[in-house]
Structure 1
Amino acid sequence: MGGKSSAPQVVLADDNSPTPSLPPSTSDDPTTSTASQQTTSTEPSAQLRPSDRTENLATDRTSNPSSSVQNENAAPVHTNQLQLPQGTQSSRRRRREASPANSREAQDRPSFDSLGPQGETTDEPLPKRRRRDHMMRLEGDNSNTNGGPRPFTNGSAADNLTSKSLNGLSKAVPAVNGSETINGHAKKTDAESSAYFGHDREEVSRLLIQALSDLGYSSSADALVQESGYDLESPTVAAFRNAVLQGEWADAELLLFGDRDGSEDEGTGKNNGQGLVLAEGAQKNDMRFWLRQQKFLELLEARDTGRALMVLRTELTPVYQNVHKLHFLSSLIMCPSTEELMIKAEWDGAHGQSRHILLSELSKCLSPSLMVPEHRLAVLLDQVKQSRIANCLYHNTEVSSSLYSDHRCDRENFPLEVAAELHQHTSEIWFIAFSHDGTRLVSCGAEGTALIWDMQTLQVIHTLSHTLPEHTQGVCFASWSPDDSMLITCSMDRYARLWDTETGQILRQLSRFEEPVSSCAWAPDGQSFVTGCLYKERNLCQWNLNGEMVYDWGRPHRIQAIALSNDGSLLVATDTENHLHVYNFTTRELEYEMDFKVRLTSVSFTKDSNYILISKIDGEIRLFSIENRKSIRTFAGQKPGKFVIRSVFGGADESFVISGSDDGYVFIWHKENGSIVEKLEGHRPGCCNSVSWNPKNPRMFATAGDDQRVRIWCNQTASAPVLHRRHRSTLSGPGPV
């Protein structure tokens, strides 16, 4: 410096470098080529209504977009003076921009003119020049820039000489060669930049803001917004939410999709129309249809039939090709009253919950980082609980686990002890089933009788005899009505009988079948039932309570087992030729059938009607998806045999699969992972034919076998009172296990 006639030229990397020219956005000029657009990570400010924003965009087109380059004597140019485009909505929320107070303080700072005369400088040493490529991103900041030269937040940049502040109260710190504030964000402290125990700090903050709002702690949520610097939603998303809830449909579509079609980006998650960023696979036409359908229904509600018809013709029809749906909407125009409209459309009107439901469905199509899914923290906590339960081998309670401690269930609480043995039968027991309320148990078998047990006293309250003078045949199946007031029994004597469970009296006896009646199932309304028979005629029939046939499916199959879904939508039947048949119970049409290559012995539905449990003669049990028509899980370990062995779901929330086996063991598997929980010596050395888990007491199940006994299994705590009740009854003592 000393001997030279001129002072070295000082260039600040951020403040004195040429500002890149920012091209107009696609929304400014629809004719602009997509390939020439510079994509940025900016989020457009949506504090203006879309109509105002469009008007401003038109004004921007007359502005000079060229960048300004400062010389060393020029006054510093603040980035908030740049004419910024309405950038593409970022899929990631960024820090809130600095307050205006900081910008004013920054303007009071010395400019480049404060440098001394030639060969002299101010008292402070000049910082070293830094490479420009290091200035493009905050240290530790891995956020994407979407290819843009300088990412900004919410479509505006903070003053480069202004530090990040909260509420505009903190004072600005001196800039160091432009590195303290980059891309409109102040340099984070180590605490701010660090992850929250391996989790993204911004994501955690936004989830907490949402959770506090869900809990009703609005002031706390606002305080967290101010302290963290993160908003739950961008102004654009907030404007979109408000537009949907206020019924401003044109504004909602403009905010959602921008001002051009962008159909070429269908399903990609991109939105080059400069609207909100969509989730991967989101279908724009579906979203448009939902919005316009709500608009159509609200016009009908307001009895504005003319405008509603125009919406149907010009807005709904072009974006939706489902003719059946469009015909249904057109039929709503003929509804004589608003009440009939709501009933027929299953819609509660503009002032009900319909707009909130619409917003909820639309939010699922937006990028999750843009619009946080509803109640996200609660959903994550529930997933944690479900994961704990899935990994807990002995979890068998419906009580929700605590978040304060790790989850663990003790084996001692699982029903592994024989609390009682019931000895009333004199021959093999083929089937048992608890009533829906868990207070009674039916057992039946080879001797031709069905016994109903009271689970409080452990005594037989009714004996339902199938013994006829000319022969004695066994009872192979029984089914409780939905309200437990009636019971159907299926017998080898080729009859099915309907009983009153309160009196033990027979109500109906169906006309004699050609072969034994193998199984039966009740319709959910309790007004009819279905029987399965091992003959090719009347093999699958529906009956009313008067014993009259309602419908005969008429397919030539010998039915082994049947089951009806709890929602009454599906009827499943297995035949003796290894096939599974799935019928629509409402239309009575065959949905599909499958060949399992081996004989199927039993079938049962889950409570949610989505899955069935299939037992096979080779000892394998499968969990099968009705909708996907695929095997989900296999439960193995049983000895293959030649007898009918039945398996069922059981435990709290149907968490287990339980089955007997040909060698007398009782197997319990975990439904979620297929692992064997326990293998119990149930009825050795003969067969364990049937099992039933108490639907109201997850700590109790029953087993039955060829040893003529019904065993009641409980955990250690419940065993003592059951044993006490047994000793007070007339039953004999427990036999060997």
Structure 2
Amino acid sequence: MEMHASSVSSHGEARLGGERGLVDREELVRVIAQSLYSLGYRRAAAALEAESGVPLYPAEHDRLLFDVMSGRWDACVAAIRAVAGLGDRERAAAEFLVWRGHFLELLGIGDAGLPRAREVLWRRIAPLGVDRECVHWLARAMVSCEGAVAPDAVVGWRIGLFLDLVDAFPPWFHVPSGRLELLVENAVVKQVSSCVYHNLPDEVTLFEDHKCPEEQIPSKCSQILCGHNNEVWFVRFSNDGNYLASSSSDCTAIIWKVEEDDTLTKKHCLVGHKNPISFVAWSPNDRMLLTCGNGESVKLWNVATGECSLKFSSSVGHIINSCAWFPNSEKIVCASCEPESSPKRIFTCDLEGQELESWVGDRIPKVSDIAVTPDSKHLICVCSNEIWIRELPKGREWRIREQQTISSLSLSGDGQSLIVNLNSQEIHLWRISESSTAPDNKFKGHKQGKFVIRSCFGGSNSLFIASGSEDSQVYIWKRHLETPIKVLYGHSLTVNCVSWNPAKPHMLASASDDRTVRIWLAHKGSHRTRLTA
């Protein structure tokens, strides 16, 4: 079968290779040679060029380098005009670089170079049609000598000029540094991102295609925590992953210590609330813990001692129903909405309980969940079927409307995205942007209709979503997939909340109405389930 001339190299070999015929042989050789030179294997690179007959750089490259370093300016322009693939604008920009270099070198000579510099400016540079401001700057330089290149700096200047010219040329002219490594890295990243179960930071090998087993997802129940005497409503790992806090309708919260062997032991039982504790919030530095009881004041606890440091309460008899930390661990934001006869409020306060600022009025929503992004730039509240976002400290506000009631909110670790659980048995993923008009993804499969169910981001680079469910199971999705990739069985009643360890992507916790917290681990050999009271 005949091959087109363009498909055959100068040595008569097929120019295109690879299983799909997409790889240009000469381009591949040049990219490999560039990588060998950069790695220090100069003899190997030279041997590759010699045996393949494919030089790393085309003849035009070496010619231009010689002309620039020799100060052969007319020859440089001729070489530029001979380069294929350059548009008129790119060619004019390259010629400008050449003549500007010559101009500044002439200025560096002193008064003797001024007449020739003036001639270069008006005869060579001005007709190119480049930005007039650049021409005016060069004209002013004839008086100020700004940018003039001294004779002893000419060599370094010309090397920089050549590199600037190379950047203006098509890629075939000069193989970019690290090109092979970038191609390989992009291929690896694509394989990892398309791997449904990639979760643990294992090394990626180049010797085979990347594919993780499903056991990398936490799915083995390694421990059952039985410290509560009633339904467990909330669970959350500390930011450093060293602790887990759980709260219950038995009016207590428990701080658990995550040991090095991935077992958890009870550190403190926090007693003092008179009503069920609906949620907890770790300070960003993990030294303090907020607990919020239904219809009660928010309490601040010292994690090291387990003692209550302060009780936060709102004025005018309001009941605080949600709160969140600012990233500096020195301020919190609270939302309150009862009694019905009083205006709804969102307010911030310091750790002494002193109110700092507040938002009050009819336009303030009745907040059911609240969060602050890690960069302190956005305050996010959920209320009924709306997500209310306010730029801080005093910026724009906008709302994202859902069709169904929102029960809970969770932020991604980078603060760029959020998920909300809906009573329609869906979880919606939104970007935190005023331009967001539709969710990036909708996750389905779990059961939710009557209760508050909480979900979370988790895993390596927050690539996964996990959620509780009213059917007593835990559901896990890959962030870009709509259907679950894993369902965890073990609880006997509704799973109210889940939390993924931010420092240990192989560990997940779930809290249930069956009065237990279960710890799930990614498979690492055999795990024996432990029962911890």
TM-score computed with the length of structure 1 as normaliser: 0.55
- Correspondence for 1:712: 519
- Correspondence for 1:153: none
Q: Distance in 2 between matches of 1:433 and 1:243?
A: 66
Q: Which region of structure 1 is more displaced relative to structure 2, 706-715 or 521-530?
A: 521-530
1:562 aligns with 2:370: yes
- Correspondence for 1:491: 293
| Counterpart code for 1:508 | L
- Correspondence for 1:397: 200
- Correspondence for 2:32: 208
Contact persistence 1:639–1:662 (CA under 8 A): yes
Aligned pairs (5 A) from 1:545-694: 545-554=351-360, 555-576=363-384, 578-585=385-392, 587-627=393-433, 628-629=435-436, 630-684=438-492, 686-694=493-501
Q: Deviation at 1:621?
A: 1.2
| Counterpart code for 2:4 | G
Pairing partner for 1:382 from 170, 185, 209: 185
Q: Deviation at 1:532?
A: 3.0
Structure 1's 637 and 201: CA in aligned 2 closer, same or farther, altered over 3 A? same
- Correspondence for 2:127: none
Contact persistence 1:538–1:552 (CA under 8 A): no
Structure 1's 546 and 393: CA in aligned 2 closer, same or farther, altered over 3 A? same
| Counterpart code for 1:563 | A
| Counterpart code for 1:594 | I
Pairing partner for 2:91 from 235, 251, 275: 275
Structure 1's 690 and 640: CA in aligned 2 closer, same or farther, altered over 3 A? closer
Pairing partner for 1:195 from 11, 17, 24: 17
1:544 aligns with 2:366: no
Structure 1's 668 and 274: CA in aligned 2 closer, same or farther, altered over 3 A? closer
What SS class does the counterpart of residue 208 from structure 1 fall into?
helix
Q: Deviation at 1:648?
A: 0.6
- Correspondence for 1:300: none
Deviations 1:277-315 (A, max 9, x none): 99xxxxxxxx99xx9xxx9xxxxxxxxxxxxxxxxxxx9
Contact persistence 2:230–2:513 (CA under 8 A): yes
Contact persistence 1:688–1:706 (CA under 8 A): yes
Q: Deviation at 1:196?
A: 4.3
Q: Distance in 2 between matches of 1:522 and 1:477?
A: 13
RMSD (Å) for aligned C-alpha atoms: 4.1
What SS class does the counterpart of residue 13 from structure 2 fall into?
helix
Q: Distance in 2 between matches of 1:141 and 1:713?
A: 61
Q: Deviation at 1:515?
A: 4.7
Deviations 1:413-433 (A, max 9, x none): 442222221122122211100
- Correspondence for 1:110: none
- Correspondence for 1:697: 504
Q: Deviation at 1:669?
A: 0.8
Q: Distance in 1 between matches of 2:518 and 2:66?
A: 62
Q: Distance in 1 between matches of 2:461 and 2:237?
A: 16
Contact persistence 1:669–1:675 (CA under 8 A): yes
What SS class does the counterpart of residue 503 from structure 1 fall into?
coil
Contact persistence 1:437–1:696 (CA under 8 A): yes
Q: Deviation at 1:378?
A: 2.6
Deviations 1:578-609 (A, max 9, x none): 11122223x33135321112222222232333
What SS class does the counterpart of residue 450 from structure 1 fall into?
strand
| Counterpart code for 2:87 | N
Structure 1's 656 and 273: CA in aligned 2 closer, same or farther, altered over 3 A? closer
Contact persistence 1:433–1:442 (CA under 8 A): yes
Q: Distance in 2 between matches of 1:372 and 1:518?
A: 60
Q: Deviation at 1:614?
A: 2.3
Q: Deviation at 1:487?
A: 0.9
Q: Deviation at 1:690?
A: 0.2
Contact persistence 2:337–2:344 (CA under 8 A): no
Structure 1's 722 and 707: CA in aligned 2 closer, same or farther, altered over 3 A? closer
Q: Deviation at 1:670?
A: 1.3
- Correspondence for 2:145: none
Q: Distance in 1 between matches of 2:202 and 2:491?
A: 32
Structure 1's 187 and 426: CA in aligned 2 closer, same or farther, altered over 3 A? closer
Structure 1's 610 and 412: CA in aligned 2 closer, same or farther, altered over 3 A? closer
Structure 1's 242 and 479: CA in aligned 2 closer, same or farther, altered over 3 A? farther
Contact persistence 1:477–1:518 (CA under 8 A): no
What SS class does the counterpart of residue 574 from structure 1 fall into?
strand
What SS class does the counterpart of residue 385 from structure 1 fall into?
helix
What SS class does the counterpart of residue 717 from structure 1 fall into?
coil
Q: Deviation at 1:711?
A: 0.9
- Correspondence for 1:140: 4
Q: Distance in 1 between matches of 2:284 and 2:221?
A: 29
Q: Distance in 1 between matches of 2:65 and 2:286?
A: 49
Deviations 1:421-468 (A, max 9, x none): 11221222111001122221100122222111123363322122243x
Deviations 1:106-152 (A, max 9, x none): xxxxxxxxxxxxxxxxxxxxxxxxxxxxxxxx963449xxxxxxxxx
Structure 1's 497 and 201: CA in aligned 2 closer, same or farther, altered over 3 A? same
| Counterpart code for 1:692 | S
Q: Distance in 1 between matches of 2:501 and 2:37?
A: 41
1:446 aligns with 2:249: yes
| Counterpart code for 1:588 | K
Tell me which of the two structures has the higher relative contact order, counting C-alpha pairs closer than 8 angstroms and 6 or more residues apart: 2
Structure 1's 695 and 230: CA in aligned 2 closer, same or farther, altered over 3 A? same
What SS class does the counterpart of residue 203 from structure 2 fall into?
coil
Q: Which is higher, the Rg of structure 1 or of structure 2?
A: 1
Deviations 1:216-245 (A, max 9, x none): 43444444444445455567778999999x
Q: Distance in 2 between matches of 1:451 and 1:317?
A: 70
| Counterpart code for 2:230 | S
Q: Deviation at 1:195?
A: 2.5
Gapped runs of 5+ residues in structure 1?
Answer: 1-137, 144-185, 260-268, 279-286, 296-314, 320-354, 733-737
Deviations 1:153-174 (A, max 9, x none): xxxxxxxxxxxxxxxxxxxxxx
Q: Deviation at 1:708?
A: 1.1
Q: Number of aligned residue pairs: give it.
A: 457
Structure 1's 187 and 704: CA in aligned 2 closer, same or farther, altered over 3 A? closer
Contact persistence 1:432–1:691 (CA under 8 A): yes
Q: Deviation at 1:566?
A: 2.6
Contact persistence 2:314–2:320 (CA under 8 A): no
- Correspondence for 1:502: 304
Pairing partner for 2:234 from 425, 431, 438: 431
TM-score computed with the length of structure 2 as normaliser: 0.74
Q: Distance in 1 between matches of 2:394 and 2:67?
A: 45
What SS class does the counterpart of residue 720 from structure 1 fall into?
coil
1:522 aligns with 2:329: no
